[in-house]
Amino acid sequence: MNKRSVRLPVGAGLAALLLAGGAVSCGKGEEAADKSPAMTPAAAVAKVAKKSEQITSLHYRMKGSIPGQGRIEAEADMRMKPETAMSMKMFLPGKTDLPMEVRLIDKAIYVDGGEDAAKEMDGKNWIKFDLSGTEAGKQLDQMGGLGAASQAEQSPTAQSNILAGADDVKKVDTATVDGVRTTHYRGTISVDDMDKPAFTKNGVTEEQRRKAVEQYRTMGVDKLTMDMWVGNDDRMKQFRMRADADKGPMDMTFTVLDYNKPVKVTAPPAGKTADLAEMLKGLQDA
């Protein structure tokens, strides 16, 4: 197998890792969010962050652009409790003609490279990313290949809780999102503010805060603009995050289709899977 045959799956794997870290805890509502006049926009957003702790799984779709990856569309089922798992169908407009499947299970990412990958890997179309604690993983981090690998283990509620830490949260308007009437909120927050221990008081754990800061620093992001559309059940129906990064703009929108439904994810057959760590070791030996 040559180096070229690895590039598309590696890029797709990174995009999947970023999506896993950027997924948000959302919910569906039936009527417009009816907030008490005494509840400020900041309090309303904080209430959403608090309630997100009850979410165990999400079925969502997303669309937007990732710095260094370009346009991307996907639909995914993700489980956060008792352990993180995800199954995603991802489409990269202009780069691939068919959706690419990505799975996260047992702290490993599996990317389906399709027929092209199978031709290069003796009939194996799946590539496994499980590089934690290996020298190959350190080298790939330096290459920028899987620098955000730890984001895959981060709770999808982390990004939504970040908005609760913004000082300028405001109500924008009301809108119908995917058939659900919602209240639209917006706020901005700097990565410098996020990089302070006091930020954990906003419902973000110290581990979530640290990982989020690491991710955005790596991407070259200084400030985030976040929009949240909330249903009357105090759960988000839609979430948008925008920022300028070193490799271009980031603009991702997540729309939740369902939540707290059973999610089952299985690893691909071993006979159809090639381990990236072993592949890189073979290249090193050569």
Q: How much is the pLDDT for 214?
A: 85
In DSSP notation, the chain reads: --THHHHHHHHHHHHHHHHHHH---B---SSB----TTS-HHHHHHHHHHHGGG--EEEEEEEEEETTTEEEEEEEEEE-SSS-EEEEEEE-TTT-SS-EEEEEETTEEEEE-HHHHHHHTTT--EEEE--TTSHHHHHHHHHTSSTTGGGGGS-THHHHHHHTT-S--EEEEEEEETTEEEEEEEEEEEHHHHTSGGGGGGT--HHHHHHHHHHHHHHT--EEEEEEEEBTTSSEEEEEEEEEETTEEEEEEEEEEEES------PPPGGGEEEHHHHHHHHHH-
Domain range for residue 50? 4-285
pLDDT at 32: 42
Residue 132's pLDDT is what?
Answer: 63
Q: What is the pLDDT of residue 91?
A: 84
User: How confident is the model at residue 99, as a pLDDT?
Assistant: 78
In one-letter notation, the amino acid at residue 157 is T
Reference 32, options 282, 229, 251, 222; nearest CA is 229
- The reported pLDDT for the residue numbered 267 is 93
pLDDT for position 262: 92
- Mean pLDDT per 10-residue segment, the chain (286 residues): 44 47 38 53 87 85 85 88 85 74 86 84 87 52 37 49 84 94 94 81 69 85 93 90 90 90 92 83 65
pLDDT at 3: 42
Q: How many domains does the chain have?
A: 1
**CATH code, 197:** 2.50.20.20
